[in-house]
Amino acid sequence: MTGSEQLEQYSGALLLGVLGDPIAHSKSPAMHNAALAALGTAGHYVPLHVKPEQLQQTMEAIRTLGFRGVNVTIPHKVEVMKYLDEIDESARMIGAVNTIVNDQGRLKGYNTDGIGYVRSLKEEAVPHLSGKHVVVLGAGGAARGIVHALSLESPARISIINRTASRAVQLAEDAGLGSAAQGYGEAESETVMASAEVIINTTSVGMHPHVDELPIRADWIPEGIVVSDLIYNPLKTKLLEVSEAKGCKVHSGLGMFVYQGAYALEYWTGLPAPVEVMRQAVLGSF
């Protein structure tokens, strides 16, 4: 279906949103409302504060209220899959959904996290991930998308560290890289990170308003490597500040946030996303 045909189905204003818990910090409404305006498309993108116990009811409401689509953020990216009619093959392989499209009451889930993140990481920090030892902090929905996308870049090794070691081990197995992907508990963090060339924080530790928190001890970060944080609020987290002080090249979550949103917008509208407008809207919202 072409973009014009998709929009014709929604001849009124497009209703879009983002659901999560918490959600007040999200810059998605500012970014997507600016994008809709730039496209000349009538619509509204709203934040939806949804507690875990409200998720199933919310998904029914998405159908009933005629939302064209929603983004899904922490902590719902895995659980929401239970309530969808169809899941894109890539999202199914990843095991998490961050974008939902509503086609006349039929909900289909996609994952734009991983492709958005790796595009940003390669453009801004590491042009080539082949042969690198990448350490991923966290094993939640965002981590699943990123590990899947990283696995397509031929890294030498992906090490996943999570508070619950079994989740890290399972995610490593799901990556399909054999012994090149391994999962660990926090007790093994120092040893694993000693040989890291790229560290990626996929957890919410350090996100506004808890801006002084660190997901790992600063003295475990090797000097001069690449350190990336998916968090974009604040733009420079405590993790990135301490890493920069150790001579590391740092990469914030802004680029991933913009690109994952751009891919989502294109699913909803069928139109090319105004990426630079979206980036400036986020920067202007702080």
* 219 annotated ligand-binding residue: no
- Across the beta sheet with 106-110, the strand order is 43-49, 14-20, 69-72, 99-103, 106-110, 86-87
* 265 annotated ligand-binding residue: no
* Domains, in order of start, for the chain: 3-111+257-283 (3.40.50.10860), 114-252 (3.40.50.720)
pLDDT range class, residue 208, cuts 50, 70, 90: confident
Give 138-166 pLDDT, tens digit per residue. Answer: 999 889 999 999 999 999 999 999 999 99
* 140 annotated ligand-binding residue: yes
pLDDT range class, residue 12, cuts 50, 70, 90: confident
Please give the average per-residue pLDDT across 3-22, as a whole number: 73
* 163 annotated ligand-binding residue: yes
Query: For the chain, how far is it from start to end, CA to CA, in angstroms?
Result: 37
Q: Distance (Å, rounded) from C-alpha 26 to C-alpha 31? A: 10
Please state the pTM of the whole predicted model.
0.84
Residue 283, C-beta contacts closer than 8 angstroms, at least 6 positions apart? 254
* Residues noted as catalytic: 77
Percent with pLDDT over 90 in the chain:
91
> Dihedral through CA 250, CA 126, CA 150, CA 97, nearest 10?
50
Q: Distance (Å, rounded) from C-alpha 5 to C-alpha 180? A: 45
Residue 216's pLDDT is what?
Answer: 96
Q: Distance (Å, rounded) from C-alpha 135 to C-alpha 198? A: 6
Give 223-275 pLDDT, tens digit per residue. Answer: 999 999 999 889 999 999 999 999 999 999 999 999 999 999 999 999 999 99
* 27 annotated ligand-binding residue: yes
* 285 annotated ligand-binding residue: no
The answer to whether residue 102 scores a pLDDT higher than 60 is yes
The answer to whether residue 8 scores a pLDDT higher than 70 is no
Say whether the peptide bond before residue 52 is cis (omega within 30 degrees of 0): no
Residue 170's pLDDT is what?
Answer: 96
The answer to whether residue 198 scores a pLDDT higher than 90 is yes
Please give the average per-residue pLDDT across 63-70, as a whole number: 97
Give 161-184 pLDDT, tens digit per residue. Answer: 999 999 999 999 999 999 999 999
* 24 annotated ligand-binding residue: no
Give 19-56 pLDDT, tens digit per residue. Answer: 999 999 899 999 999 999 999 999 999 999 999 999 99
Residue 123 in tokens: 């453009």
The answer to whether residue 4 scores a pLDDT higher than 60 is no
Residue 31's pLDDT is what?
Answer: 98
* 45 annotated ligand-binding residue: no
Please give the average per-residue pLDDT across 53-80, as a whole number: 96
Relative to beta strand 86-87, strand 106-110 is parallel
Please give the average per-residue pLDDT across 67-78, as a whole number: 95
Residue 263 in tokens: 């891919």
Residue 2's pLDDT is what?
Answer: 47
The label of the residue with tokens 């500040």 reads: 241
Q: Are 231 and 257 in contact (CB under 8 A)?
A: no
Average of per-residue pLDDT values in the chain: 94
Residue 11's pLDDT is what?
Answer: 52
